[in-house]
Structure 1
Amino acid sequence: MFNWNEIDTVLLDMDGTLLDLHFDNHFWLSLVPQELSQQRRISEDEAQRLVVKAYDSVAGTLDWYCLDYWEQQLGLDIMGLHRTLVERIQLRQDSMPFLDALAKAGKNRILVTNAHPKSLALKLEHTELASGLDAMISSHETGYPKEHPQFWQTLFDKFNLEPSRCLFIDDSEAILNAAKLAGVAHQLGIANPDSQKPLKTFNDFPAIDDYHLLLEDLLR
């Protein structure tokens, strides 16, 4: 799938790419509406419509990923609610073998996430993910989400990266495209970000559902 001799650095999304997206989907699409329904004494269907409308209004912006923003908008203890579900924070079963193989192959491994620093810290606390990474950055540190070209320029400058020697892996086709437009030479989609949902279809990028498919070529 890739000529690994042309790749020095692998840029990796977190949620849905290294971690099972089921935690986030359950949190934002089930738990938050349930809590809002109880707090405002409205039906769960009405609460669901309210949160989806609120999410859609800031999709693709840094606010969409900001826990502080949602605490203010919804009047909920977002971090407190996160901690009630920590048992659902799970690494994909194929993530650590892939990260270990990247290290053996001499590749630099950088976590590139839109996750809010509070969410990132919680997920690192409850998984072994940090042990498989060389560096990490949250888009909140840059002031721009991964959807924005300035994020990528800040990333390249911060880590002194040559984008033509980078592979970026993400479960969002829109964000893969943003990376491509910013100059990242290689992209890969993840077709099964949520273990509880059907496979996704990628139209413009190659995609896999198991990192083990890459290991033979990587370690050759």
Structure 2
Amino acid sequence: MIPDWDKIDTVLLDMDGTLLDLSFDMYFWGQLIPEAYADKHGISFEDAYRHLEPIFMGEQGNLAWYCLDYWTNALDMPVAEMKRAVKDRIGERPGTQAFLSWLKEQGKTIVMATNAHRETLSIKLAEVDIEHYFDALVSSHDFGHPKEDQAFWEALIKQQGFNRERTLFVDDSFAVLTSAEQFGIGHLLCITQPSSEHPARDVTQWPAVNYLDEALPNG
């Protein structure tokens, strides 16, 4: 699905699952954290997972879900340090560099709009060579509201001054895309397979691609 690029000036891009492979985050929260929690409390992995799952589910969509400080305190574990220990698992999704390079060549304004905590952002951008493409890097923690909330978009447009009708937003989260749609972002694009280790999803509500370079002319 190729956007009408002549009608787009600004491109807002999610990070995890859009630019970067979500398999890192799924491994970290779905395996590494439960393993460490099990070791810390002398219980089985299964018991740790059963204990943590409702806690995680209860915070999804809230700013706390994305906050390293929150989970460091809640779990009593050095979450940022643990992320750095497995940073070799961080990787770009195929097509990311080609997409960003093309946007830059076309003179589009490129803004990262992520729910990731600033420390997570720092850890990940140290491992992938993409920061230089962006005109701005925005974390929802800067505004105190996740992308799922309209307050995030109000703060973002006030800060960045983009024309919502001439803006493309790309994300893998259905909830976040719904929020952007409600705000009136003119062009939306969904990623079908945010994690390389999980199957692609059937996306019908918005235009969708697997890899970002598929959205380029003749991509």
| Distance in 1 separating the partners of 2:108 and 2:130 | 16
| Distance in 2 separating the partners of 1:60 and 1:148 | 9
What residue number does 1:128 align with? Answer: 129
What residue number does 2:190 align with? Answer: 189
Secondary structure, counterpart of 2:38 in structure 1: helix
Identity of aligned residues (%): 38
**How far did residue 210 of structure 1 move?**
2.1
What residue number does 2:21 align with? Answer: 20
Is the Cα contact below 8 Å between 1:96 and 1:132 reproduced in 2? no
| Distance in 2 separating the partners of 1:217 and 1:168 | 20
CA deviations over 1:25-67 (Å, ceiling 9, x no partner): 0000000000000000111111011211111111111001001
Mapping of 1:137-216 within 5 angstroms? 137-216=138-217
User: Match for 1:75: what amino acid?
Assistant: D
CA deviations over 1:100-120 (Å, ceiling 9, x no partner): 001111111100000000000
| Distance in 1 separating the partners of 2:14 and 2:212 | 14
What residue number does 1:4 align with? Answer: 5
- Residue 66 (structure 1) aligned with residue 67 (structure 2): yes
Is the Cα contact below 8 Å between 1:173 and 1:202 reproduced in 2? no
What residue number does 1:105 align with? Answer: 106
User: Match for 1:191: what amino acid?
Assistant: T
**How far did residue 84 of structure 1 move?**
1.2
| Distance in 2 separating the partners of 1:131 and 1:123 | 14
Secondary structure, counterpart of 1:216 in structure 2: coil
Secondary structure, counterpart of 2:148 in structure 1: coil
Which range moves more in the overlay, 61-70 or 1-10? 1-10
CA deviations over 1:83-135 (Å, ceiling 9, x no partner): 11110010112101100001111111100000000000111111112022121
Is the Cα contact below 8 Å between 1:149 and 1:178 reproduced in 2? yes
RMSD: 1.1
| Distance in 1 separating the partners of 2:203 and 2:214 | 17
- Residue 55 (structure 1) aligned with residue 63 (structure 2): no
Aligned residues between the structures: 218
| Distance in 1 separating the partners of 2:182 and 2:217 | 29
| Distance in 1 separating the partners of 2:212 and 2:70 | 34
| Distance in 1 separating the partners of 2:64 and 2:108 | 32
| Distance in 2 separating the partners of 1:133 and 1:25 | 26
- Residue 38 (structure 1) aligned with residue 59 (structure 2): no
Is the Cα contact below 8 Å between 1:164 and 1:185 reproduced in 2? yes
**How far did residue 215 of structure 1 move?**
2.1
